Amino acid sequence: MNPVYEKLMKCYESVREKIDFVPEIALVLGSGLGDYGESIDVVATLDYHDIEGFPVSTVEGHKGRFIFGYVDGVPVVCMQGRVHYYEGYNMTDVVLPTRLMKLMGAKVLFLTNAAGGLNWDFAAGDLMLITDHIMNFVPSPLIGQNINELGQRFPDMSDIYKPDLQEIIRSTAKELNLKLQEGVYIQLSGPNFETPMEVKMCRLLGADAAGMSTAAEAVAANHMGMRVCGISCISNLGCGMTSSPLSHIEVQETADRVAVQFKQLVTASIVNIHKHINA
Ligand code: HPA
């Protein structure tokens, strides 16, 4: 058996020995949504450490666990803490949790992250609906022998971030009176932030926000036929766009400042997506 698939199935069996919860929506919690667990009627939690073969994060402050439960009655699984490519994992490990949540039963992948704004119309603290992505600067998670059980060798990527889900998030933000920017996310390897020239290059390529996660997860999910949507918290403007140097503390502080609105938007969007896919 393909070793990547074998590892995935081992993790799946390990999860299923402990919990039989079937989520409808898989939510990946980025910076700023770290305490989103408080918005969930928690049924169970499962530390990544307790899943056999699971890649575990090394970043300080990233709690690594799945939370299973209900957001306003909608069954969800949340990833509280993800693993990043810059930590040294290969891309197949980075997307293993995403694949695992699909195997658990999730139909929709709702991605969130903190990202640097590249668009001059953006400000720190804005929320951005992801409409598409660029990830050519990091390897595809689909490199290697194709896992036919998950999806096809050459999957189409023309509408990863599903237009109907985008429209739901857009209208939900309107209902809540929240400002929502829109744009293209570019995934870079990190862990260093970009140089001012790299920021300019990304903007010239058409990107509106830069980050170190998310796009690879979206590709793996789309490969498996999951419906994907995502929101970035613009935690800062890209290097060189302001006079001050960038720090992880600034990223965290901005994310914390807008956490209330971010959580509100995610919760209401989950409810509306649930209604939509069950209509
Ligand atoms: N660049 C890349 N990733 C990020 C940034 C940034 O400016 N801010 C938060 N994550």
Distance CA 223, CA 169 (A): 22
Instruction: Note the pLDDT of residue 57.
Output: 62
Q: Give yes or no: 222 in active site.
A: no
Compute, in angstroms, the gap from residue 99 CA to the centroid of ligand 1.
25
For 53, 96, 215, 227, the CA distances from 7, given in Å and listed in that order, are 7, 9, 22, 24
Q: Give yes or no: 223 in active site.
A: no
Instruction: Note the pLDDT of residue 260.
Output: 92
Half-sphere exposure of 92 (CA within 13 A, CB side): 15
DSSP state string for 154-179: S---TTSB-HHHHHHHHHHHHHTT--
Instruction: Note the pLDDT of residue 60.
Output: 57
Please identify which of the residues 86, 140, 182, 259 carries the catalytic annotation.
86
**Interval 167-181: pLDDT, tens:** 999 999 999 999 999
**Which pLDDT band, with edges at 50, 70 and 90, does 33 fall under?**
confident
Is residue 150 classed as helix, strand or coil in its secondary structure? coil
**What residues contact residue 186 under an 8 Å CB cut-off, 6+ apart?**
118, 133, 134, 135, 137, 202, 205, 207, 209, 210, 211, 215
Q: Full-prediction pTM beyond 0.85? A: yes
**Which pLDDT band, with edges at 50, 70 and 90, does 253 fall under?**
confident
Instruction: Note the pLDDT of residue 94.
Output: 95
Q: Give yes or no: 86 in active site.
A: yes
Nearest Cα residue to atom 3 of ligand 1: 211
**Interval 195-212: pLDDT, tens:** 999 999 999 999 999 999
Nearest Cα residue to atom 5 of ligand 1: 116
CATH 3.40.50.1580 fits 3-277, yes or no: yes
Is residue 195 classed as helix, strand or coil in its secondary structure? coil
The overall average pLDDT reported for the chain is 94
Q: Which amino acids bring their CB within 6 angstroms of ligand 1? A: 114-116, 193-194, 210-212, 235-236, 238, 246, 251
Q: Give yes or no: 175 in active site.
A: no
**Interval 94-111: pLDDT, tens:** 999 999 999 999 999 999
Give the helix ranges, DSSP H, for the chain.
3-18, 91-94, 96-104, 163-175, 196-204, 215-223, 248-257, 259-277
Instruction: Note the pLDDT of residue 247.
Output: 84
The two three-digit tokens of residue 44, written as one number = 């169970």
Report the relative pairing of strands 209-211 and 127-134 from DSSP bridges.
unpaired
**Which pLDDT band, with edges at 50, 70 and 90, does 251 fall under?**
confident
Compute, in angstroms, the gap from residue 234 CA to the centroid of ligand 1.
8
Is residue 75 classed as helix, strand or coil in its secondary structure? strand
